[in-house]
Amino acid sequence: MFEALGEERHFHLKRLTRGLMVAGTALTFALAAPLAPAHATEEADVTRGEAAYEASCASCHAAPARIIARVEGADDAEKTEALEAFLPDHYAEDDQDRADIIAYMLSL
Ligand code: HEC
């Protein structure tokens, strides 16, 4: 009797958990949607930069931290300047991708 009750509860809990997960996913999309269109006017985003780095750079540069360490510049502003000059002709033509990738590299 107790065991049956326990199983029933467990079943409900599982359904509840699944329901919450579905609701959570829907909410995530609802919140993300207004931010989705990617053009260069958006603020640079580290998470997007990591994905862009994986897609455009990682095949040749496995260790982004090593690359950014070698870029000339005493601080982030100078390194950003150097990368903004170099990357348009080096696999990051897209302004938004480039801004995101630079933000990601500087976050390492
Ligand atoms: C097809 C291979 C390839 C891809 C893809 C690639 N790179 Fe490179 N990258 C190189 C090579 C080769 C060099 C020059 C040799 C070196 O410094 O390792 C270089 C040099 C660099 C440098 C200069 C390093 C220094 O010494 O100053 C930076 C910064 C850099 N890459 C960043 C990137 C970023 C960011 C991406 C993605 C948008 C990218 N690379 C994509 C091959 C690649």
Q: What mean pLDDT is predicted for residues 29-52?
A: 71
Higher pLDDT, 29 or 55: 55
**In the chain, what percentage of residues exceed pLDDT 70?**
63
Please tell me whether residue 68 adopts helix, strand or coil conformation.
Answer: helix
Higher pLDDT, 17 or 95: 95
Residue ranges of domains in the chain: 2-35, 46-106
Residue 49 pLDDT: 98
Residue 40 φ/ψ, nearest 5 degrees:
-65, -10
What is the overall mean pLDDT for the chain? 79
Q: How far is the CA of 61 from the centre of ligand 1 (A)?
A: 6
Euclidean distance between CA atoms 83 and 92, whole angstroms: 10
Token pair 């509860």 in the structure block, residue: 9
Phi-psi region at 91: left, alpha or beta (left = phi > 0; alpha = psi -120 to 50): left
Ligand 1 closest atom vs CA 56: 37
User: What is the model's pLDDT at position 41?
Assistant: 72
Helices 76-86 and 95-106: angle between axes, nearest 10 degrees: 140
72-90 pLDDT, tens digit per residue, is: 999 999 999 999 999 999 9
CA of 1 to the centre of ligand 1 (A): 67
CA distances from 80 to 5, 71, 93 (A): 62, 9, 15
Return the residue whose CA atom lies nearest to atom 40 of ligand 1. 57
Closest of 102, 65, 64, 100 to residue 82, by C-alpha: 102
Look up the pTM and report it: 0.72
Check residue 27 and give its pLDDT. 44
